[in-house]
Amino acid sequence: MASSTVMCRASQRVLATCCCTPVAHVRHIGLKRAAMAPKDQKSFRSHGASTMVSRQVHAVTAMATGSDAGLKIDLRGKKAFIAGIADDQGFGWAIAKALAEAGAEISIGVWVPALKIFETSFRRGKFDESRKLSDGSMMDFTHIYPMDAVFDTVDDVPEDIATNKRYAGNEGWTVSEVADKVKADIGNVDIVVHSLANGPEVTKPLLETSRKGYLAAMSASSYSLVSMVQRFGPLMNPGGAVVSLTYLASERIIPGYGGGMSSAKAALESDTKVLAFEAGRKYGVRVNTISAGPLGSRAAKAIGFIDDMIAYSYENAPVQKELAAAEVGSVAAFLCSPLASAVTAHVMYVDNGLNAMGLAVDSKTLDRAE
């Protein structure tokens, strides 16, 4: 097997999830919210969130497998390529699993330096529990390709990367080369998923971000989508779908989500709309992006305070529960299905409604004397 995910160097990898300032405890804000003792609140968060998430996962599984009556997401016979899977914890894996539940054939691109670890873990069964589908079978990948979406062609690869031992033993991992492999191995595809982001200076405020760091974030996190649509668009069947992942920092100030990543997400969303028009007219495909809420994936934890952001979202979102990766996967499956045939150029929020809030309801500035 060959594999590769375009997330950046391990310590610098950044999923399109989030960063935010620390969160305060629940406070009375004059809205007469039901008061909870810290212990009861913690219990509610763990039990309530898990119950709601399990219901969501069951509903998605039912739609995909047809175990319940109603509208079905049926992707049998469809072929999907997903760029940006390095383990079984992030949104990329969740999207792959949702597509597999719906019957799609999945191939993936894994960042070259992460390929060996991913393949070893996959082969040794470390992902087996996560691979289980509702019908008892195991999700599998038709092809696993090494990939680094920062480079469009082999001519773009600098000498220090070409000779880097982390890339040794792998060939044909630029975007154009992977697209050529997919065409030769699979033929046309119906679904392309961009689950890639990296900001080497993400922990730096924008005022301290270097030009190199800023452009690196733009290259890995936004232009990579443009490059993929350029190369994979000609391989896509009419009616196909492209889906990427973005984050609320594209339009709101999220202190701590630095290094040009907020700009990269803004560019990604703008490019989604332009690509929806251009690729829609040229290839007959749809292009959408999912603005996902915070998830404690391995990549997101490299940011430093993802747990604070999850807590902040829980306290302030209209739906008070933690986000599950499977919920993002289910929305991606919908966007890739015929049920969303009229949906394109759209930013789909999957964040428990946090994007709609204009006030942090747990802010201590809202405390009122009894």
Torsion angle (degrees, nearest 10) of CA 225, 216, 197, 7 = 110
Structure-token match 């079978």, residue found: 137
Phi and psi at residue 99, to the nearest 5°: -65, -40
Radius of gyration over every alpha carbon of the chain, rounded to an integer in angstroms: 20
**Is-contact 104 189, C-beta < 8 A?**
no
**Nearest-angstrom CA–CA distance, 295 and 271:** 24
- The active-site residue out of 167, 214, 257, 283 is 257
* From 167, 223, 247, 314, active-site residue: 247
Clarify whether 314 is annotated catalytic: no
Residue 84 near residue 150 (C-beta atoms within 8 A)? no
CA distance 281 to 81: 21
How far, in Å, CA of 291 to CA of 121, rounded? 29
- How far is 134 from 265, CA to CA, in rounded Å? 34
Assign residue 162 a region (left: φ > 0; alpha: ψ between -120 and 50; beta: otherwise): alpha
Q: Is 247 a catalytic site residue?
A: yes
Token pair of 284 as six digits: 């007959």
Give the closest residue to 239 by CA, choosing from 99, 333, 334, 341. 341
DSSP string across 30-52: SS-PPP--HHHHHHHHHHHHHHH
Catalytic residues: 247, 257
